[in-house]
Amino acid sequence: MRWLHDRSIGQKFFISFGVILSLLALSLTALLVYLSRINSYVDRHKRITVPAIVTAATMQRSAYEMNLTLHLFLEQITKADAADTLARLSRHAEQIRSSLDLYRSTHAARTHPILLGMLTQHQRMDLADQEDRAIARIDLILQELSALWQTALTGPQRAGVAPSPVAKTDGLIVELMNNLDQLVAAHRDIDVEMKVEGDLLLQQARLIALSLVAVLGLVITVIYVSVNRQIAKPLQRLSVTADRVAHHDLTAQFESWPGRDEVGTLAASLSSMVTSLREQTAATARKTKELEAFTYSVAHDLKGPLREIEGFSSLLEKQFADGGDAQTRHQIDVIRRSALRLTHMIDALLKYSRLEQQDLPRQRFNVLEMITTLLTDRFNGLQGPKPKIQVALPFADLYGEPVSIRQAIANLLDNAAKFSRHASPPTITIGGTRMEHERILWVQDNGIGFDPSHYDKIFGLFERLHSPQEYEGTGVGLAIVKLVMDKHDGRVWVESAPGAGSKFYLAFPERAESVVDRPSSSPHPASA
């Protein structure tokens, strides 16, 4: 097992499959050997036993016809003369002799070493001896009959009294038939032994097959247990620990593996990776805290002087409101507006920084209610002409973090209101689409739009397509929208053309483990 521990996974599988294939090859070889032996048995049965019994039966029929011919002549039932009867008897004797020679050379047990070996193994050599004695006696009787027929058929005959040669001939024929019966009986017993041999071969083949199947099953079980213990279970433990690490649990420990295979190498690499990850995470956390402290410090240090600049410029603006030249008043106004714009940029940057560092816990919430509240807060107190707003969502709920999503939708509404204020009339439409794996919310306006070639810049931080004098803003709003969607594993894109307005899409993925929510019965239209 120690030797197996040090093998690679590929070598382990190669050894395992090699053992299984070797056992399969051994099983196939053993089965083929026994099939060949069974086939040999069937062949012997077809070539020896059955033809032997047929040949012996043929000799019995010839002997019966011989006996019938002799008795018909002696009892004067037939009109055949002695010469014709002698010829017929000789022909029957020749047929028996010919069949006997065929039997002796082809079907006798001692002619076939395999058959003789089978009888020796079964301790039934008496059947071979019985067969030999019957063959020898039949041959001798045929010789004696040939010598007696001439005397029996041509000698003096008296009615009702059989001469001595005729009686002896009749007795020899009866003995011939008895020996033929013994020959048939012997070979039938040999056939029984062959059937026993066939049953034994079949039983051995079954036993060998079952034994090899049992050994193969045992080997497969041992290999399965070994692979499960040395590969599957360690990989399962590694995957559980890796899953904990993937969910930011850096306290997880990868257990060391004693083997030097790929699993051991993977465990060592993952352990080293987690150690490095802990160190980098700790360093990142320290730098993040330092950066947060620096950001807030800089922001507050900058906002203090900016408030003073804005305050004093406001006082100067009031002081020179009724007097002073126009250029001075313009310069003071520029100073005050620049201070306010820089303050807004700092606030937006702080908001972006906080959002980037936050984890967004998600939940299912009523987005339609959120949009309705947002429209009320955003546009009820708006001075000047209000845009016409239409809301037609095919769903009422959404899965995500409500506060950040509200900020993203608010930024899109502010952009839509800002860039469509010169339209007649300004119109904003909020709609959506429910897909199988995500829900898409879109905000469309009929404003100035933009060139699609600027698409790559539109979601960048501090990226602006217009000067602050044309349209106010910090250049952070759409960057926040992009960041919110990234943190939700969602998508954001826009369709626009100069003078044709813009349509911003937010695609939120559905929660994988959640039950599919029932769609709302109506699109919930609303207007403001």
Per residue in 447-495, pLDDT (tens digit) is 888 877 777 777 766 665 655 555 666 667 788 888 888 888 888 898 8
Coil, helix or strand at residue 78: coil
214-234 per-position pLDDT tens digit: 888 888 888 788 777 777 777
CA dihedral sign of residues 510, 514, 519, 520: negative
Residue with tokens 């049992």: 214
What is the residue-averaged pLDDT of the chain?
A: 77
What three-state secondary structure class fits 388? strand
Task: Using the predicted structure, report yes or no on whether residue 142 has a pLDDT greater than 70.
Answer: yes
| Structure confidence by residue, pLDDT tens digits, 360-390 | 777 888 988 888 888 887 777 666 677 888 8
Give the span between the Cα atoms of 225 and 319, in whole angstroms.
92
| Lowest model confidence (mean pLDDT) among 126-130, 203-207, 302-306 | 302-306
Find, among 233, 277, 229, 284, the residue nearest to 252 by Cα: 277
454 vs 431, which has greater pLDDT? 431
| Mean local confidence (pLDDT), 197-205 | 77
What whole-number distance in Å separates Cα of residue 337 and Cα of residue 333? 6
Straight-line distance from the first to the last Cα atom of the chain, in angstroms, rounded to the nearest whole number:
77
Tokens 């040939």 belong to which residue? 146
> Which residues, in sequence order, are CB contacts of 172 under 8 Å at separation 6+?
141, 144, 145, 148
| Ramachandran region, residue 38 (left: φ > 0; alpha: ψ -120 to 50; beta: rest) | alpha
Distance CA(104)–CA(111), nearest Å, equals: 7
Are 477 and 414 in contact by the 8 Å Cβ rule? The answer is: yes
- Residue 493's SS3 state is strand
What sign for the dihedral angle of Cα 321, 325, 330, 336? negative
Q: Which of 236, 282, 510, 288 is nearest to 400 (CA)?
A: 510
Longest dimension (CA), the chain: 187
Compute the residue count for the chain.
528
The phi and psi torsions of 111 (rounded to 5 degrees) equal: -75, -25
Cα–Cα dist 50/36, whole Å: 20
Angle between helices 125-154 and 82-102 (to 10 degrees): 170
| H and E: helices and strands count for the chain | 14, 8
Contact 213, 157 (CB under 8 A): no
Going by their DSSP bridges, the two strands 388-392 and 427-434 should be labelled as parallel
pLDDT beyond 70 at 210? yes
- The pLDDT-based confidence of 525 (bands split at 50, 70, 90) is very low
User: Torsion-angle region of residue 449: left (phi > 0), alpha (psi -120 to 50) or beta?
Assistant: left
**Which own/partner pairs from 131-134 qualify as long-range (CB within 8 Å, at least 24 positions apart)?**
131/183, 131/186, 131/187, 131/190, 132/108, 133/182, 134/179, 134/180, 134/182, 134/183, 134/186
Query: Tell me, what's the pLDDT at 260?
Result: 65
CA distance 38 to 347: 96
Tell me if 443 sits within 8 A of 416, measured CB to CB: yes
27-36, 265-274, 337-346 — which is least confidently predicted? 337-346
Least confident interval from 235-244, 355-364, 496-505: 355-364
What pLDDT, on the 0 to 100 scale, is given for residue 303? 67
H/E segment holding residue 363: strand 363-366
- Name residues whose C-beta falls within 8 Å of residue 361's C-beta, 6 or more positions apart in sequence: 401
b or e along 393-413 (b: 16 or more beta carbons within 10 Å of the residue's beta carbon)?
bebbbbbbbbebbbbbbbbbb
Distance CA 37, CA 27 (A): 15
Peptide bond into 425 cis (omega under 30): yes
DSSP string, 238-270: HHHHHHHHHTT-TT--PPP-SS-SHHHHHHHHH
CA distance 73 to 152: 11
Start-end of H helices in 381-489: 402-419, 455-458, 477-487
Collect all residues with Cβ–Cβ distance below 8 Å to 142 and sequence separation of at least 6.
93, 96, 97, 100, 176
pLDDT at 158 over 50: no
| Structure tokens, 135 | 């063959």
- Name the most confidently modeled range: 86-100, 192-206, 378-392: 86-100
Residue 418 above 80 pLDDT? Answer: yes
Q: pLDDT digit string (tens) for 48-71?
A: 777 888 888 888 888 888 888 877
The pLDDT value given to residue 506: 92
